[in-house]
Amino acid sequence: MRIGLLLCDFMPDEYVPIAGGYEDMFSTMLSECDISLISYEAYERRLPDRPDECDGYVISGSRASVYDDEQWIRDLEAFIREAVEASVPIFGVCFGLQVMAQALGGTVERFEGGWGIGVHTMTVGKQRPWMADSPHAVSLIMSHQDQVTVLPEDASLLGSSVHCENYLVEFTPIHVAIQGHPEFEPAFAERIYSNQDRDLGPLRETALASLEQQRDTETVVSWMCRILDAGNPSSGIH
């Protein structure tokens, strides 16, 4: 499969020695999927010419907020709507969830409950075929201030955490997104949290300690692979 990685941010130089660039992180994470990953710098207004240029897309996280007055975000929203109309699969991560929600009629806001950082656990409320044999609770590393507060009209909420109600969302059977970061490794998250000491305050130490907890990256990667394979007639997802 030819999968487009829609990059919504660049990797600061100081983090590159830890995990490489975002393309490296996603490529490593998706190494067990039968895909060829092609990167597009969406934050530089570089997007595919048309949705069927790839078999599916992954939308990355970002330090930006989807409600920022930035043309590249508006362009990305338009592309998402085109891909949904063309039935090309998309899996969004963090900012990817939020921009998909906003593009399709939902609302994203700065969360009054503060930062979501550290390892958080989501409880699965609804099962789907692509979640076969999955646990009912999934833990991932988090790093976000914004949240989807109102879902688009036809979206389905599949999973929630204590801190984030709209954690796992199905916009259509082949357009899905999650608030957590399956691509993050503990060493990368530790550096991010350490550099945000002034913003995070007392949350920082709790978040750092939580990085020793078990994460369910493999489960979420299996979900991503099945969604991205949805264009295959034999996938069973339509």
CB contact set of 112 (below 8 Å; sequence gap of 6+): none
**Rounded Cα distance, 52 and 113, in Å:** 39
- For residue 32, give both structure tokens: 């067990």
Percent composition of the chain: helix, strand, coil (DSSP 3-state, to 5): 35, 25, 40
- For residue 98, give both structure tokens: 């939020």
Cα distance from N-terminal residue to C-terminal residue, the chain: 17
**Rounded Cα distance, 91 and 82, in Å:** 15
Catalytic residue from among 120, 163, 175, 181: 181
Is residue 44 part of the annotated active site? The answer reads no
Catalytic residue from among 94, 120, 163, 164: 94
Catalytic residue from among 54, 144, 163, 183: 183
Is residue 225 part of the annotated active site? The answer reads no
Is residue 144 part of the annotated active site? The answer reads no
Which of the residues are catalytic?
94, 181, 183
